[in-house]
Amino acid sequence: MPPQDTTSQLAIDVPAHPKKRTRAELQSAIKSARDIMRKDAGLNGDLDRLPQLTWILFLRAFDVCVEEEREAEILGYERVIQPPYDWKSWGARTEFTGKEFLDFVNMKLLPYLRDLKSDEEGDPRNVISTIFQDVNNRMLSGTLLRDLVNVVNGINFDSADDIHTMAFVYESILKEMRDAAGDSGEFYTPRPVIRFMVEQSFLGLGESILDPACGTGGFLVEAYEELKELPRSRVELAELHHNIRGMEKKPLPYLLGMMNLLLHGIDAPNVIRTNALRKMREESSPKHRVNVVLTNPPFGGEEEKSVAAAFDSAGVGTHETAWLFLYSVIERLKPGGRCAIVLPNSVLFGGGVGAKIKQKLMRECNLHTIVRLPQGVFAPYTPIAANILFFEKAGSTKETWFYELPLPEGRRGYSKTKPMRYEEFAGCVEWWGGERRFERKQTDQAWKVSIAEVEANGYSLELSNPRAGDDLAHRAPLDVVGEILVGERHALQEVEALQRELEELSIRNLADEETGNRFSIGEFLELSRRPVDVQPEAIYREIGIRSFGRGVIHKPPVTGEEIGAKRVFHIEPGDLLFSNIFAWEGAVALAGESERGYIGSHRFMTYRVDSGIADSGFLRFFFAIGPGLEVIRAASPGSAGRNRTLGIKAFAAQTVWLPPLPEQKRISSQLNRIVQVSEAAEERSHVLAALRISILNAAFTGQL
């Protein structure tokens, strides 16, 4: 039978406060707990044992750090967890054991905790309910479970020193868990990197701080530790607790993170379990924006189709999680807000959709600093090279500083036994120039590039140190190989996803007139001319259009004086662009956000698409490389080259068959993904070429 709610029982069963324990004693207690769990047949490895220990620790810590503390401070306080489900009613009763105890935990305690609910925002009942939705007792022996609970009951949480010591021990367990999880693709941010990012973000009291991929809470704990001495009242302290915010998708990291925050003094963590990308896309209003984002989103992952599709309307046609997180973070910041985010090298050099997102970043934010981390920071879990991007939503980017953090002298990389240390950031901190970034200077490790250089480079940020040799060729071979592998895996994922889509579709003939409609081109394309009043002193950015469907070229900026008497026209996102002299060989493109503010010459025909009939993305491919190309050629008299000018009236009069609109969008999505894979393959060919030189350089400098 479950325990009865009687005061006399509690008085008998609850021991006096356990004595304060040293760090070594706490570590010994945790070792005892783990030894007990190893004996139970229901637990298999640390990835089973740690969650089991964590939810029991959570209930013990919650009882002491929240329930007892509030009972002492608030007259008539009503406990969140009521008897017989509070810790004293079952956790502290050493004689309550065996099958009876096991049945109570499985059939009464855990269901009760899952059903705790409140309509009040920030109520701990909602936190507990969310945590325990995915918690199960995996132990099969009621006796061993009792032994485990007894060990946890002996841990003291009565003083700040005890809690701090327990937090340290718990963090060491988390590190072991991270080591165990590394093989499954779960790798976490090293503590020195977290500390550096938090300190260089110069946090202030009253600011809202978010980690949308918070994992076990490392950034949130560090931010809280940075600010916790500043509140001057209980109101300010409560506001600080509320302002430390997180999102986490997976149940295990969420549970671990909640425990981590509780142990560090946040009794009702403002962390939600959700898909952060979906949540941030849905919550687009200003009230959801924050002052600071600190995060290390997943590397190389691919988001589920329904979530990625939510970004299509913004022109972000990718499933790559790093890109989607970067886009979402930009949107989540308040005006004047700032961000520090860890991203892989592939984000620096990525083109296509990636270039568009970087253009958005640099137009809407000041990307003031990129810290290039040394090889192996995430070793041994991944060889992927990583960077920290620091930006603020305070005007557009004029220039970006790079700081290349070197490996310690005599070191070739990092490992479990020789990880990165915070002291390695000392040179960068000294160079940083404080909160206002005063008096930065170019050094062997630091250099800056202008926005004009970035634009001319197609928004690739793979810009090498001018005081060093070619960046890729002079990096360690394993670093370069890691980049190649990430790209290959991503390409394979894209192709496999495309294969699955094609297999799911019923085979049908798209040329079947019954499934679509025939239109004259003039019915869905409207010629749109927006003349530019050219001013001699003004700066203009002009586009070109590549043949064979290869998209838009961004030409170097020119003055109005250089344009002279040439007629030019404004380009707007969504314009379908045709070179009237080379359209016959596929010089057709679709203007996106990256073309906003650009101009085109009178040789370019700009059309607006009737979205009720046709999808602009589909038409881009249809006219550049598909059946529409023959229609263009029919409306382009002449023999070749410049003599084959596309006639406006003749083109508008041509009739074409179009599939249904949903089918057009599906085809466009698939073709865009193929373009992205192709562009990435082109990038990897350059990386492969650099790998040869990298291996030779390493061989002759003693690094192989």
CA distance 630 to 211: 52
Query: Angle CA(198)–CA(202)–CA(204) in degrees, nearest 5?
Result: 110
- Tokens 């009739």 found at: 655
CA distance 125 to 339: 31
Sign of the CA dihedral running 646, 652, 655, 656:
positive
Element (H, E) at 60: helix 46-62
Quote the pLDDT of residue 350. Answer: 75
CA distance 451 to 473: 24
Quote the pLDDT of residue 186. Answer: 47
- Tokens 């380009």 found at: 571
Q: Side chain identity at 135, as an amino acid letter?
A: V
> Maximum distance among all alpha carbons in the chain?
103
What are the tokens at 274? Answer: 């959700």
Cα 185 to its chain centre, rounded Å, is 15
Q: By the 8 A CB rule, do 41 and 137 touch?
A: no
Quote the pLDDT of residue 183. Answer: 40
Query: Angle CA(170)–CA(176)–CA(181) in degrees, nearest 5?
Result: 125
What parts of the chain have a pLDDT lower than 70? 1-23, 157-187, 300-301, 379-383, 416, 467-475, 483, 498, 500-516, 639-643, 679, 682-683, 686, 697-704
Return all residues near 28 (Cβ < 8 A) that are at least 6 apart. none
Q: Which pTM value belongs to this model? A: 0.65
Q: What is the DSSP letter of 106?
A: I
Q: Is 3 helix (H, G, I), strand (E, B) or coil?
A: coil
Q: Is 569 helix (H, G, I), strand (E, B) or coil?
A: strand
Query: Angle CA(281)–CA(399)–CA(591) in degrees, nearest 5?
Result: 50
Quote the pLDDT of residue 59. Answer: 92
CA distance 474 to 526: 52
Quote the pLDDT of residue 353. Answer: 83
Quote the pLDDT of residue 365. Answer: 97
- Kind of pairing, strands 604-609 and 525-527? antiparallel
Q: By the 8 A CB rule, do 384 and 298 touch?
A: no
DSSP bridge partners of 608: 526
Quote the pLDDT of residue 55. Answer: 92
Quote the pLDDT of residue 300. Answer: 64
Q: What is the DSSP letter of 295?
A: E
Tens digit of each residue's pLDDT (9 = 90 or more) over 428-449: 999 999 999 998 999 989 999 9
Question: Residue 573, preceding bond cis, omega within 30 degrees?
Answer: no
